[in-house]
């Protein structure tokens, strides 16, 4: 069974890949989270425009794909060093998939260590993510 996605950290890019969501619903989830703060429970999805009005069976299937990790549960305590982590370690950061991890490693190989986590904003693929998504990733990283 695939690992559940943390509703409070998943990016719109990852959300678009979930059957039944699509780009507009994925953006609504990220927008809602940015405006209202972290989801307290999976059932909070029902408050997201265009998500809560999905057919009941479809909505129930969607909810099964997520988990809600509360802040302070230990997942956010350990930051990943962007300069020493390998691609596999970088992929464990919510919002960083294989392509993003490879982009960071390649950037380090070509340009040396990253001096400030804000440099991530200028890397390929990251510019396609929202400011909130990039900030969530940067909050999980350190130099």
Q: Domain end: 27, 43, 67, which one? A: 67
- What integer pLDDT is reported at residue 139 of this predicted model? 84
Higher model confidence: residue 19 or residue 1?
19
Q: CA 59, CA 76: separation in Å to the nearest integer?
A: 28
With respect to residue 52, please indicate whether it lies within any of the assigned structural domains: yes
Q: CA 65, CA 3: separation in Å to the nearest integer?
A: 8
Q: Are residues 53 and 31 in the same domain?
A: yes
Backbone phi, then psi, for 66, in 5-degree steps?
-120, 160
Find the domain containing 44 and state its range. Answer: 5-67
With respect to residue 73, please indicate whether it lies within any of the assigned structural domains: no
With respect to residue 72, please indicate whether it lies within any of the assigned structural domains: no
pTM reported for the whole predicted model: 0.50
Q: CA 15, CA 138: separation in Å to the nearest integer?
A: 19
With respect to residue 49, please indicate whether it lies within any of the assigned structural domains: yes
Higher model confidence: residue 12 or residue 110?
110
Rg (CA), the chain: 16
With respect to residue 11, please indicate whether it lies within any of the assigned structural domains: yes
Q: CA 102, CA 90: separation in Å to the nearest integer?
A: 9
Q: Domain end: 67, 98, 117, which one? A: 67
With respect to residue 25, please indicate whether it lies within any of the assigned structural domains: yes
Question: How many other β-carbons are positioned within 10 Å of the β-carbon of residue 133?
Answer: 22
In the chain, the number of structural domains is 2
Q: pLDDT tens digits, residue range 47-104?
A: 999 998 999 999 999 999 898 875 444 444 478 899 999 998 888 887 788 888 999 9
Q: Are residues 55 and 86 in the same domain?
A: no
Q: Are residues 53 and 106 in the same domain?
A: no
Q: Are residues 129 and 88 in the same domain?
A: yes
């Amino acid at each position: 069974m695939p690992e559940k996605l943390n509703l409070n950290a998943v990016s719109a890019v990852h959300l678009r890949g979930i059957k039944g969501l699509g780009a507009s619903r994925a953006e609504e989830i990220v927008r809602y989270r940015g405006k209202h703060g972290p989801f307290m429970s999976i059932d909070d999805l029902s408050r997201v425009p265009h998500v809560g009005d999905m057919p009941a069976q479809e909505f129930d299937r969607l909810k099964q794909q997520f988990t809600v990790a509360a802040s302070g549960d230990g997942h956010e305590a350990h930051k990943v060093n962007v300069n020493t982590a390998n691609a596999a370690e970088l992929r464990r950061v919510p919002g960083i998939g294989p392509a993003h991890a490879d982009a960071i490693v390649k950037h380090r190989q070509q340009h040396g260590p990253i001096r400030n986590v804000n440099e991530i904003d200028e890397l390929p693929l990251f510019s396609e993510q929202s400011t909130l998504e990039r900030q969530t990733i940067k909050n999980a990283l350190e130099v």
